[in-house]
A and B are shown apart, each in its own frame.
Chain A
Amino acid sequence: MKNAERVREPEMLEHREFGFVYFNRKGMERHLSFPDRESLIDFIRSRYPKHAYYSTAYYISPGAPTMDEKQWIGAELVFDIDADHIETSCKNVHDYWRCTKCGREDRGPVPNRCPNCGSDKLNSVTWVCHECIDAAREECEKVVDMLINDLGFHQKDLEIFFSGHRGFHIHLYDKRVYDIPQEGRREIVSYLRGEGLDIALLIERTLGSSIRPLDLDSKCWGGRIARGMYEIILTSTEENLKRLGITASVRKYILLNRSKILENMENANWEFLREIIRRRGGKKSIAKIIEHVVNMYAAEVDERVTIDTRRLIRLPGTLHGKTGLAVVNVDIDGLWTFNPFEDAIVLSDETIEVEIVGSIPERVWGIKLGKASRLKVPLYLAIYLVNNNVAELCRR
């Protein structure tokens, strides 16, 4: 495929704002607009930007310098899932930071402030690996599940893109979301994260109303919690209930009546909750179980991206300026077979020699690098190493 053909312009291109970051200067050039695909491609060809973005919003005058003059019409709904914000053990292996103030350095996730001197000026070198991608994939799957099964969107209106670095962007093009105000978008994020779940209300309504939120077959949080509770009770042992913080009296009740409780749940009978509540620490124990289930199912998305109705997001088909990987479409059904270190590589694999000038992990993108100070690596990897400031190209 020719490189230009890869660029996937957004729908209603003429109503979008574009922004670019270049190799040779700081900051972003914003407020650009293009009448058609051809002029967009011409611009990218002649300016070869490091990063390319477009607005999730569409405007009457996207090229106007201020938001008021642009005149907002609506915006896609976008979700950003980034391994940076998910706890993974691989960060202890491949991420590294150094405080510019006191010189303290360490491996692992980059903290917000230096634990030694409290400064927030930290230099960091971070890498992306299969484990990072898998963590992001899991969150991505949760978001897609909730968008389709809970909120009733159609798979055909959803697209997933690999972000070019450590995560995915999910774009939702359903017209029903275009005019949702910021507050509403904030609430969607809250829903995906399971935030603000009122446990007392959930129990009260399950025990005292004709429409019960807790229901094994339900396709919203009530269902997720019911199924999670079922699983916990099904697999419960003295130790794991204790680990969850369940009181002795409740543990005893659950373990003695397990099959009865499970049977009741299957028959949509939640009266056993009253039994648990009556016991010492009963309410608290139920809350512990539910909190555990919510944490299990909650999706980690970057709220700032979703609630910002004037956000610029990476243009599909362009390259991420740090990694050189392409922002490519990922088939929803093929989410788990997608391999960014094969499927998102578009640069040449011709071998090139680099000199290592910084600390590098043993393996990058599945390629073993070894400890030599000069390495022969494929061009696409050389670009990543150079952009991450740990290698320099050797003159031929």
Chain B
Amino acid sequence: MAIAIERSRVSARRRNRYRARRWIGHALTYLGLAAALFFFLGPFFWIVTTSLKGNEDFFAYPPAWIPTPPSLAHYAALFTRSSGARYFTNSMVISSLSMLAALAVSLPTAYSIARWRFGGGFLSVLLLVLRMLPAIALIIPIYIMYKMFGLTNSYLGLVIIYTVVYIPFAVWLMVGFIRDFPIEIEEAAMIDGCSRLRALVQVVVPIIAPGLAVVALFAFIATWNEFLFAVVLTGIETKTMMVLVTSFTSGGTDAFYGEASASVVLGVLPAFAIAFILQRYLVKGLALGGTKG
């Protein structure tokens, strides 16, 4: 009897100790993640609050970390003084057009690779090499060619280069989606008299649409974020948001902190949205998509 009581007491103590250790482990885990969240999201928090500060908060010391009351004055200044509205529209238009063009061109190629193994191993290696190709290698000849054809400072010029640079990634992702699609459905449609192209557009596309949306969103954000081609090939009228931001660094950032932070907020907005929508695909997308640099 006494032994039994003693034993249960020991095991209770052990369980408590185990629980305490687990609790500490959990606490440390969340503490570590909280520190990580502070480091990775802190800059965004500060940029957003800075963009909302009125002048008296802006010059306050000790600094006001939260603007009271928040003011949209910097956004108004960005849209009027720095023509932010135009550059935001430029970015939107260029990214949307490049996204659509990249999808339209890549889909049949991906289909050809997925269904007929077109190009074999050679093509997939070529696509990978193209993905790794530094943009700096293209910018000099593209600049000279665009000068010749009058394509600098135009939407078309940027859309063309963005579309083509994005093809390898789009094709690579789409091949996977099409391979997962059962070939029997297509064949049934073709027996009913559909042409190959119509079967692709009317049967395959609607079913793999979610996959295409993933490719499209990655294409959009990659184009939105691209900087090297944008800074070399755009002029006053066709600047994108990325180029606009750099204009606040020349002549001393300090003067236009408010507008600069407002433009950063607008510039990172699509990235925030897409990071949440595409959670499951982030690894693939970041590894093989994205024009980094």
| A and B physically associate | no
Q: Please give the residue numbers on chain A whose beta carbons come within 8 Å of chain B beta carbons, in ascending order.
A: none
Residues of B near any A CB (own CB < 8 A): none
